[in-house]
Structure 1
Amino acid sequence: MRFSPPRPLFDANAAAGGASGKGLGSLPDWDLSDLYPGPDAPEYERDMDWLIQACADFAAKYEGKLASLSAAGLLGCVQDYEAIDVTAGRIMSYAGLRYYQNTMDSERAKFMSDAQDEVTDATTALVFFSLEFNRLEDSHLETLLAGNADLARYRPVFERMRAMRPHQLSDEMEKFLHDQSVVGASAWNKLFDETMAGLMFRVEGEEEELNLEATLNLLTDPLREKREAAAKALALVFDKNIKLFARVHNTLAKEKEIEDRWRKMPTPQTGRHLSNHVEPEVVEALRNAVVAAYPKLSHRYYALKAKWMGLERLQVWDRNAPLPLETPKVIDWATAEKTVTEAYAAFHPELAKLAEPFFKKGWIDAGVKPGKAPGAFAHPTVTTVHPYVMLNYLGKQRDVMTLAHELGHGVHQVLAAGQGELLSSTPLTLAETASVFGEMLTFRKLLDEAKTPAEKKTLLAGKVEDMINTVVRQIAFYDFECKLHAARQDGELTPDGINALWMSVQSESLGPIFDFMDGYETFWAYIPHFIHSPFYVYAYAFGDGLVNALYAAYADGLPGFEEKYFELLKAGGSKHHKELLAPFGLDASDPKFWDKGLEMIAGFIDELEAME
């Protein structure tokens, strides 16, 4: 249930921001009135009052009685639970999205905190539901499901709930953890967000101090000295704040370790795998395949990039540098919209039609503004409203790809909404499917339209870099998290200790061509995924590998691919990844599956080498 505000889970290739929309045309802002007209709107108060009463009524009606319910009675119970989920999700979506528009606004921060407090207090009455449901005998539940098709539709929800049975605590302890959550991880999340939003960086050569987004954006500047100045400014400020960031990581990792220990989770990653409905061995196969491919992917590509740049060694500020043959250009918003929409329409007109309201109805917030959360994300809100997309658009080609990516999420969320609140939510492992596929469609359109070999080379190199960021870099992040959580079990980690863990995965993943400046060891500090959603990052690599295999099936002319693809998106969280991929002849549990996706990246690098 969505009892927390939306978290800004910034996508792997989200554009780094800057300070203006100059030359970009009119950038859209969110219209949050589809959720509520305003923070003081009577509709908001009405829904909060309803939620408080509905939660109390639910407990009075069902607590201690689930085992005695008929199939129709249990269906009614689940539907009542779902209705509460919709209202709680609507409230927290509004509070969270409004906050992320300006995280430095204390009124917005207070509004979100107060909303979370009220929702958490109200929904404490519901904690019994999953606990009591999980105590139902398997044979009894199967009898109920066999006799009622409407109830059986919720089987995937029940299976995910019952996967937690071995890790369930006492009713009293579960209620305590629910109540305590507002001053636990969520409070540390807010501290991190507000600290990051408030950091300012003095970059040599810049007239004014810059925020994090603008400074990260300079790492893609054509001028090498400007990239170097930005990297050193980042390192300086991160180092000044490193004790705070180390405290946040230490506290959250320890809190997780305590809860995992009480729940008898065998590994720190187990909870994420359970919520993703994916087997640990599948994730391990993905991780191992990517690590084994480092030499033929990132190591080989960056050596090629050094050659293009006329350098014997690369520095960390060269990693995302534009190629020397690349002509810097600003892509205005109207062109970006046209590019992505046409790419979607070329696949199927319905895909473009689903994307249209995002542009026309205030479902996108694109401009870079003071206090706005960095990066990009798509938040589904609730199935009775619609998703919202956040960008920090600066007119770079990578920003256009980010738009294609986030619109993919949005379209996926719109299609899955037909499943209803409890079945629409897609596990993270499949949540990147439509986003990465949308990127691939847009990339292929741009590649087909390339007029010169230099333009084609630039596009191919940009795509390879994005794929390396999505696959190689995210698996390196995952390894860093695994090491950090394992080390935290042995005691408090010093900033130097965390720095050492970070550096242990960097040279391995990026390759021997890189030198690492003093200060780069602190760059773990600004990655929000580690704070907001531990072990989230492997979902990016999972999604990229899955989509590469899917796209290969599409390119090979698999009969009925478009219809099968739409059915996959409409399924939301109602089916396991094995069942969803079967119509395409794919199986993610086959270790060789991941090699197919990695071969696509290697193939692009082959093309680049052939252009030499």
Structure 2
Amino acid sequence: MAGGPGALPEWDLSDLYAGPGDPALDADLTRAETEARAFHASFANTLSALSGEALADAIGRYEAIEEVLGRAMSFASLVFSTDAQNPDNGRFLQTMQERVTTISSELLFFTLELNKIEEPVLEAKFRSPALERFRPFLRDLRVFRPHQLSDEVERLLHEKEVTGRTAWNRLFDETIAGMEVGVAGETLNVSGALNKLSDPDRGVREAAAKGVSAAFGEKARLFTLITNTLVKDKEIVDGWRRYPRPGSSRNRANMVEDEVVDALVTAVIESFPSLSHRYYAMKAKWLGLPKLKHWDRNAPLPDEDNSDIPWDAARDRVLSAYSGFSPELGRVGREFFDKPWIDAVLRPGKASGAFAHPTVPSAHPYLLLNYHGKSRDVMTLAHELGHGVHQVLAAEHGYLMSGTPLTLAETASVFGEMLTFRALLDAERDPRRRRALLAGKVEDMLNTVVRQIAFYRFETLLHDARRKGELSREEIGALWMQVQAESLGPAFDFTPDYEIYWSYIPHFIHSPFYVYAYAFGDCLVNALYGVFREGSVPDFENKYLDLLRAGGTLRHQELLAPFGLDASDPAFWHKGLAVISGFIDELERADG
């Protein structure tokens, strides 16, 4: 960390590689290429006949090669996210993607052939303890068995990815990274301009909103083309794979049934009036406005402490909350601050938003944030640190089984946010500041649940409409405005310039139908945290740590069973949503 106390940290990626020109990177990929070819020669068309022990050995060799490729791609992605405007970084990322794709093509046969093994034959092989260890990997792999295409088609899709979806993703990222937004005489990047939407001065918020609208409006033709192309691309691939609907492939990857997602989405949509509509009506009154504009959604409240929070103070608040719940959680979390694993500096070209990248189990995760010093940034830090801790604790299962489905990947992050919020709320004695804290948390939860399900509904409408032909900017904007009005309610008066705001959401481009995972995780954690507060589950701390350590080895039913929770029960979602409703009830009582 450069500078004095409170200076923002920058990560050091040398635990992966010293730099794009590091000879170790080229040596690793050269070795991986040799091993991948030898692996293909040794095991192609043999898997069904292998003993359980031999098959376990093959999976172990496959995992080792994949981890080398994962390390290289993690490094390239992180370098690119540090400064996507630098053309050298873009070329480096593309070169790595092409080289890794070529190598992994030699390995593609393996998972395809594993899925061709008949169920009784595979089950007999599990008599080997060595293979039994990989049961979760094989279980999850075989979810995609009904959607697997011929080996030749699978290889074609795999190799064309670098000139297809991946290339469009890169174009989207580089375009946003290079954009400049004019805000009241300032020239800001997209992240900086979006941050101004939380400014206490309504004039600044309006100027930022109009600046964002203008900047993205100028690029609307490009973003419309990118979106239409990727949605059509997904429709083509989904059709070949016989997925019943656009979101099904994501649900399979999340190891969750379509019906469970439907239950979540339906429960949240039915709750719009009792959650977001009710809250934003109160917020309009607090702000003294007859109607809210879209630039008022994240406006600070009159009693909100909008002073800058130094980095050191943010770190201490989050670690104190983590350690107060579990010394082990706090210990793992502190590693991220004691070591150069976080990049929070604001710089041109840096990826907007925040993320936790798990990299590979033989290394460690890295966190990226854009820290502006506001209370929401503290909650973002708590959120991303939760991801990082989760990734560290699950690493023991190795490259193939440490990762969790997106629906469960949000568990530790949202739980970390809740721990931090509760610690702050419980320590606050001033009623006005307490109300501001509670309202801030409600807004975060609405952004996580209501806003993300609105995003999911927008994607559903978008993908359904695209099947009838290419969509214009105006048609996409109309769908966006429709779901925003539905989800945010009558307290808002949306100006026409808001119709372009769909175009800056990266999840629609990078991870179609990802967004419901946030709502899934938030409602899950609300229910989980409710059990914790009730004290109804003995040894909750250790059971929670076991949940995190399980990584991808267990499904959501098995992970939630020790806490007496079941996500397949519709009442589960209402239990989670009731937590948000209860907070709004408390605000209404205080308001009265």
Give the whole-Å Cα distance in 1 for the aligned partners of 2:5 and 2:350. 18
Query: Which one of 74, 77, 83 corresponds to residue 102 of structure 1?
Result: 83
Deviation at 1:218? Answer: 0.9
- The residue correspondences of 1:52-67 to structure 2 (distance < 5 A) are 52-67=33-48
Shift of 1:23: 10
In 1, are the aligned partners of 2:306 and 2:375 still within 8 Å (CA)?
A: no
The answer to whether 1:605 aligns with 2:584 is yes
**Partner residue, 1:8:** none
Residues 252-271 of structure 1: pairs in structure 2 closer than 5 A: 252-271=230-249
2:157 pairs with 1:198: no
* Alignment: residue pair count: 589
Cα offsets for 1:40-74 (capped at 9, x unmatched): 12211110111111110110010011111111110
Deviation, 1:159, is 1.7
TM alignment of 1:560-575, pairs within 5 A: 560-575=539-554
Secondary structure, aligned partner of 1:103: coil
1:403 equivalent in structure 2: 381
Does the CA-based 8 Å contact 2:56-2:134 persist in structure 1? no
**Residue aligning to 2:401:** 423
| Matched ranges for 1:320-339 at <5 A | 320-339=298-317
Identify which of 35, 53, 69 aligns with 2:16.
35
Aligned-residue offset at 1:136: 0.6
Asked if 1:165 is matched to 2:145, the reply is yes
Q: Is the 8 A contact 1:24 1:395 kept in 2?
A: no
Q: Which residue of 2 aligns with 1:593?
A: 572
2:289 maps to which of 311, 315, 328: 311
Q: Choose the corresponding residue for 2:391, options 405, 409, 413.
A: 413
Q: How far has the Cα of 1:328 moved from its partner?
A: 2.0
What is the distance in 2 between the residues matched to 1:178 and 1:327? 50
| Equivalences for residues 9-408 of structure 1 within 5 A | 25-145=6-126, 147-204=127-184, 206=185, 208-408=186-386
In structure 1, give the amino acid aligned to 2:140. Answer: R
Q: Distance in 2 between matches of 1:175 and 1:380?
A: 27
Tell me the alpha carbon deviations over residues 553-599 of structure 1, each in whole angstroms, 9 at most, x when there is no partner: 10011211001000000000000100000000000000010001100
Q: Distance in 2 between matches of 1:332 and 1:36?
A: 31
Secondary structure of 1:262 counterpart: helix
TM-score normalised by length of structure 2: 0.98
Paired with 1:191 and 1:475, the residues of 2 have a C-alpha distance of 26
Cα distance in 2, alignment partners of residues 69 and 461 from structure 1: 60
Question: What are the superposed Cα offsets for residues 403-426 of structure 1, whole Å, 9 maximum, x if unpaired?
Answer: 000000000000000111111010
Counterpart amino acid of 1:485?
Answer: H
Asked if structure 2 preserves the Cα contact closer than 8 Å seen for 1:24 and 1:330, the reply is: no
Q: List, as ranges, runs of 4+ consecutive aligned residues in structure 1 with deviation greater than 6 Å.
A: 21-24
User: Once the 2 structures are TM-superposed, how far is the Cα of residue 327 of structure 1 from its aligned partner?
Assistant: 3.3
1:473 and 1:509 in contact (8 A); partners too: yes
Q: Report deviation, 1:22.
A: 11
Residue pairs, 1:454-493, within 5 angstroms: 454-493=432-471
Match of 1:546 in 2: 524
- Three-state SS of the structure 2 residue aligned to 1:431 is helix
Unaligned runs of 5+ in 1: 1-20
The alignment partner of 1:209 has SS state of strand
Cα distance in 2 between the residues matched to 1:466 and 1:22: 32
Query: Which moves more between the two structures, 426-435 or 224-233?
Result: 224-233
Q: Residue 163 of structure 1: SS of its match in structure 2?
A: helix
Q: Which letter does structure 2 place at the counterpart of 1:77? A: A
Residue identity over aligned pairs, in percent, reads 56
AA aligned opposite 1:196: I
- In structure 1, the partner of 2:495 is 517
Is 1:23–1:332's contact at 8 Å kept on the other side of the alignment? no
Going from structure 1 to structure 2, the CA distance change for 1:602 and 1:282 (only over 3 Å counts) comes to: same
Stretch moving more, 148-157 or 49-58: 148-157
Give the alignment's TM-score, normalised by structure 1: 0.95
| Contact 1:102/1:371, CA 8 A, preserved across alignment | yes
Match of 1:11 in 2: none
Amino acid at match of 2:585: D
* Distance in 2 separating the partners of 1:176 and 1:267: 23
Conserved 8 A contact 1:23-1:330:
no
Residue 518 (structure 1) shift: 1.7
Q: CA RMSD in A?
A: 1.2
Residue identity in the other structure for 1:481: E
1:498 deviates by 0.5
Secondary structure, aligned partner of 2:57: helix
Name 1:18's counterpart in structure 2: none
Q: CA deviation at 1:25?
A: 2.5
Q: In 2, distance between residues paired with 1:390 and 1:517?
A: 33
Kept after mapping to 2: 8 A contact 1:437/1:551: yes
The higher-RCO structure (CA 8 Å, 6+ apart) is: 1
Q: Kindly provide the CA deviation profile for residues 237-258 of structure 1, in whole angstroms up to 9, marking residues without a partner as x.
A: 2111111001000000011111
Superimposed CA distance per residue, residues 364-404 of structure 1 (whole angstroms, 9 cap, x where no aligned partner): 00111111000000000001100000000011011011100
Letter in 2 for 1:25: G
Contact conserved, 1:24 with 1:394, CA < 8 A, in 2?
no
